[in-house]
Amino acid sequence: MDPEEFRKAGHQVVDWIADYLANIRDYPVLPVTSPGQLAASLPPSAPEAGEPIERILDDFAERILPHVNHWNHPRFHGYFSVSASGPGILGEMLMSALNVNAMLWKSCPAATELEQVTLEWLRQWLDLPVGWFGIIYDTASTSVMHAIAAAREAAFPENRTGGGLRDAVCYTSAHAHNSFEKGAISLGIGQRNVRLIGVDDNFAMRADLLAAAVEEDRQAGRKPFCVCATVGTTSTTAIDPVAAIADIAEAAGMWLHVDAAYAGPTAILPEMRQHFAGCERADSFVLNPHKWLFTPIDISVLYTRRPDILKRAFSLGAEYLKTAQDSSAVNYMDYGVQLGRRFRALKLWFVMRYFGREGISAILRDHLEFAQELAGWIRADSRFEVMAPVSFSLVCFRLTSSNEANQRLLDAINASGRAFLSHTVLNGIFTLRFAIGNIKTNRDDLAGTWSQIQQCAAAL
C-alpha cells in the first residue's frame, strides 16, 4: 500500500469512525442475525488476487457491520458496559502503526518505560501501596492465571523443575468469576482443588466459611496456598470482606489475590475507597482499564507486591534474548507466559492524559449516580424488585413474577434493538442485569431504556 493510497483510505476510515461514534444511537444495539448467517454470506476461500481497499471498506460496512453487537452503544447494558473513548482509539491506532514488540526493554525502551510510568500513575490514582509492581496483560483471566502461578511458585518452588503439586488447594467465593477456576485448571492445580466458598445474603464470601474450609484442609494434610477475593463480583458486584480474608490468608501463609477487574477504577474516588479496605494487604490485585476506564479492549493491569516471585515463575534466560540491560531494566517477558507483547500502555497513557483524574472521576460518579437513580425507579414500580445491593454501577432486578416471565421480559427488551441487558441466576431466581459504564450513556438514555423496560413488562 503506497503512502498516498494509505493516506486516502486512512482519512476515510477516521471519518467513518467519527460518524459512527457520533451516530451510534441510530444503530440497533444488537444485530438481527443467527449462527452461521454471516459466514455463509462470505466467500469460502480467500481471494487469489488482491482487491482494492474501497471494496474491502464497502464490504465491511455492508456485510460485516450488520452482524456486529454495538458495545459502544450508550444503551448496551449487558455483561459489563465498556467504552472505546476517542483518545483510547487514537492511542490504539498509533500502537498498531508502530507495531513494536514490548518483550524486552531493548526491544522497545519506550514501550517498557511507558508501561512503568502509566502503571505508577494509575497506582497513585487508585491509592494502592507505594512500590507495587504493575504489568499489563490482555485480560483479567490471563492476569489471574499469572497471580495463581506466582502463588504456586511461592508455595511450591519445586514445581518449577517438575516436582509435584500434591494436595495444593485454593479458595474463592461461589460468586467469583470462573476465570479463577480456569486459571487453576490451566496450571495443573485441578478443578477439584478449587474450593468455592459460600456467600452471605449480599452474595459476599463468608470469611467464617473460608476459615473453616482452610482448617479442614490443613487437618487433612492438604496445603492451602492461594485465595482470591473479589471487589465487585460479576453477577451482582458483591464485595468480599477483603480485610477478614487477608487475616486468614496471612495466618495460613496463602497468597491473596484481589479481583477488581470491573470495580477497580472506582478506587480513584475517595468516597469509594471504603470498598477496597484490606486490598493494601493483597499479594496481587487486578483491574481492567478496558472495562471501566474508557480504554479499548484489550488491557488488564496486574499489580503485585512480590514481582520477584512472579519473575521466578516465568524467567528462563535464553541466550538469544540476553541483553546488556538485563540488570538495569525491566524485561516484561520475564513476568509472564508471553514473549511478544503489544504496546498497550500507549492507549492508557492517551486516556489518562486526555481526561485527567478529574475527568475520569466525573464520569465514574455519573455512572454511580445513574445506577442509584435507576434502582430508585425500579423500587418505585411495584411490579419490580431490586435483587442485590447496588454498590457500583450494576443494578440487578426482576419482575416479581416467574423465572419464565422474566426470561420473556429480557428477550422482549433485547429484541427491541433499543437496549441490551443480560441476566444472572441468584439462588435459582432469574435476574436481569443492567450494567452502566459506557462513556456516552446519559440521563435521557437511562430514562428511555427504563420506559422501554416498563412497556415490555406491560405488554407481557
Closer of 107 and 233 to ligand PLP (Cβ) = 233
Q: Which stretch binds ligand PLP (CB under 6 A): 232-240, 403-411, 414-422, 428-436?
A: 232-240
Minimum distance of ligand PLP from residue 302's CB (angstroms): 11
> Which regions of 336-456 does DSSP assign to beta strands (E)?
384-386, 394-399, 422-426, 429-435
We find the least distance from the C-beta atom of residue 42 to ligand PLP, in angstroms, to be: 27
The only residue of 105, 132, 262, 343 in contact with ligand PLP, by rule CB under 6 A: 262
**Cβ closest to ligand PLP, residue 224 vs residue 232:** 232
CA dihedral defined by 174, 178, 183, 189, rounded to 10 degrees?
40
Least separation in angstroms between residue 5's CB and ligand PLP is 36
Cα 413 to chain centroid distance, Å, stands at 25
Contacting range for ligand PLP; rule: CB under 6 A; set: 43-51, 135-143, 432-440, 441-449: 135-143
Binding ligand PLP (rule: CB under 6 A), the pick from 173, 234, 235, 416 is 234
Could you give the CA distance from residue 416 to residue 454 in angstroms, rounded to a whole number? 13
Q: Which is nearer to ligand PLP, 234 or 331 (CB)?
A: 234
126, 128, 140, 333: which one binds ligand PLP (CB under 6 A): 140
| Closer to ligand PLP by Cβ: residue 79 or 125 | 79
Cβ proximity to ligand PLP: between 152 and 291 the closer is 291
**Cβ neighbourhood burial of 245 (10 Å; 0-12, 13-18, 19+):** buried
Choose one: 2-10, 134-142, 246-254, 321-329; the region binding ligand PLP (CB under 6 A): 134-142
Selected from 82, 168, 261, 267, the binder of ligand PLP by CB under 6 A is: 261
Q: Which of 141, 406, 414, 431 binds ligand PLP (CB under 6 A)?
A: 141
How many whole angstroms separate alpha carbon 362 and alpha carbon 351? 14
Number of H helices, E strands in the chain: 14, 11
Could you give the 3-state DSSP secondary structure of residue 385? strand
CA distance 264 to 392: 10
What is the rounded distance in angstroms from the CA atom of residue 123 to the CA atom of residue 140? Answer: 17
Please identify which residue in the block is written with the cell numbers 510510568.
117
259 binds ligand PLP per the rule CB under 6 A = yes
Sign of CA dihedral 366, 368, 373, 378: positive
Does position 205 interact with ligand PLP (CB under 6 A)? The reply is no
Q: Which of 81, 112, 288, 361 binds ligand PLP (CB under 6 A)?
A: 288
177 lies in the binding site for ligand PLP (CB under 6 A): yes
Site for ligand PLP in 298-337 (CB under 6 A): 300
Smaller CB distance to ligand PLP: residue 107 or 288?
288
Q: Which of 173, 167, 182 is nearest to 209 (CA)?
A: 173
- Are 283 and 148 in contact, with CB atoms under 8 Å apart? no
Reading the block at residue 272, the C-alpha cell is 469509594
Number of chain positions touching ligand PLP (CB under 6 A): 15
Closest residue by Cα to residue 91 from 141, 25, 136 = 136
Helix (H) / strand (E) element for 89: namely helix 86-98
179 binds ligand PLP (CB under 6 A): yes
Binding status of residue 235 toward ligand PLP by CB under 6 A = no
In one-letter notation, the amino acid at residue 156 is: F
| Cα dihedral 216→218→221→225 (10° resolution) | 120
Residues contributing to the site for ligand PLP (CB under 6 A): 80, 139-141, 177, 179, 230, 232-234, 259, 261-262, 288, 300
